[in-house]
Chains A and B, each alone.
Chain A
């Protein structure tokens, strides 16, 4: 708990420093407000438009969460299948890799054609972006079982299934949690871009509408909230990672001498 409190204060302080820098730059160089509003003006706007911003923030958060949960679940399922079966791996892993390179955001117009304007295209985009890092990490965790350990278990008569259940899956846990950070960011991005291109709500939508009507303070309000959400997600998953598989990180902390 102490660690969490100090982490919170440190990141808040970091944010405060960044804001202080932003304010100073704007004042120092007399940057016009329609190009880059100072944080002071942004905060005022955030307070006055609080109602709207809260609504759209919730839309983004809910969409991101759905994308992340579904994307991670799919990622685990596919990752386990590919990690387990050599055949499936050879058939589909390179194909997946190819899809990973495609910008999912570019597919959003296609999703709109398929699903219409609304929340579905953005959630689907979020799922597809979140899915890949989870698959890759789960597969890596399964594939890197030490060969000697594998040999020893085989001499005991262990089946492949037993080895995967007893060694593979626990082993892949820290890899999975590490990938959640990236997956969360992916779900987030998918949703925001989807909101910008083709939804009626969400922070991405606010961003686009505010920018095109030159209400920069509102646009920056949305951006600031996005930044804060991003930070929160990062910290949340970082802590989760260390909590769920403490044994993967304790080895670094151990102060036992060799021998």
Chain B
């Protein structure tokens, strides 16, 4: 669900013209300037989670942020969802200072966090209930989303009947039910085995392709970041700041085979060196 047909056309044109050219510079969805974040832990220590963080998120792109454990990636996601405010600097969402959660965000985490007393489709429809939308309208969309992720026929199943990978698919559908402009994902595939993870890469790629919108993915899996993204940002260890940016010039949609090509591996290698530093 891209914001306007003009934007859609611009991005489609950019894709077709050159896979390796940098993205057309439309005005960014998120603009982070010199962000710092400090907090005090329960036992009184001061932690500087982020320092001098500068980056942008372009509308329609798939951006991955990678970095060592504890570098502040999750904190960054909380900032972007409006749950916390930076101690320094500013985070602009569509040109405005971000205060509170912007409308139109979907989120998914490593733990699918489905409500076990609800069936699959009721889980997907939870955001609709919270916002107060018409369930009957959204039920159709929910069924369509479930079909897209390969769970047609599972609408009335209980979540305990699903495997971890299936639950994560439901979690993604729930994140997308309200047509969010931006999808924030915090290591959503971290708890899954390699095969399921690859399946879900394809699912996510399809969802991004059909729904449009912007995705920001936090992951520590380099292959995942390269496979899915248009651009990858590398964060340093704590206090986190951006140390490297890599555009991924591989054409989309990508088949799993591409993950075993030389070009792909070179991207992974470049990123790996930057992360260890």
Contacts and interface: CB of A to CB of B under 8 A. Distances in A.
Interface of A: 146, 148-149, 151-158, 162, 166-167, 170-171, 173, 245, 247-248, 250-251, 254, 256-259
A130 B132 CA distance: 39
B162 A148 contact: no
Given A148-B111, A148-B113, A248-B116, A155 B82 contact: yes
Given A166-B126, A166-B129, A170-B117, A155 B101 contact: yes
Nearest to A167: B115
Interface in B156-186: 158, 160-165, 178, 186
A257 B109 contact: no
Nearest to A149: B113
Contacts of B78: 151
Nearest to B175: A152
A250 B101 CA distance: 35
Interface stretch (B147-155, B190-198, B211-219, B254-262): B190-198
Which of A153, A173, A247 has the most CB atoms of chain B within a 10 A radius of its CB?
A247
Contacts of B178: 156
Contact of B192 (A151, A170, A256, A259): A259
Nearest to A248: B116
Interface string B79-97: 0011100000000000000
Given A166-B130, A259-B192, A155 B83 contact: yes
Interface residues of B, number: 32
A125 to B, nearest CB: 35
B219 to A, nearest CB: 16
A154 B164 CA distance: 24
B239 interface: no
Interface in B111-150: 111, 113, 115-117, 126-127, 129-131
B117 A245 contact: yes
A154 B129 contact: no
Contacts of B105: 155-156
B107 interface: yes
Contact of A154 (B101, B162, B196): B101
Interface of A is mostly: helix
Interface of B: 78, 81-83, 101, 103, 105, 107, 109, 111, 113, 115-117, 126-127, 129-131, 158, 160-165, 178, 186, 192-193, 195-196
Given A146-B111, A251-B116, A158 B130 contact: yes
Contact of A247 (B81, B158, B192): B158
Closest 8 CB pairs of A and B: A259-B196, A155-B101, A259-B193, A250-B160, A247-B116, A149-B113, A158-B130, A148-B109
A25 B193 CA distance: 58
Contact of A156 (B113, B127, B195): B127
Nearest to B184: A155
A30 to B, nearest CB: 57
A92 to B, nearest CB: 23
19 contacts: A146-B113, A151-B78, A151-B107, A152-B109, A152-B113, A153-B130, A154-B101, A156-B127, A157-B101, A162-B130, A170-B117, A171-B117, A247-B117, A248-B116, A250-B160, A254-B161, A258-B163, A259-B164, A259-B196
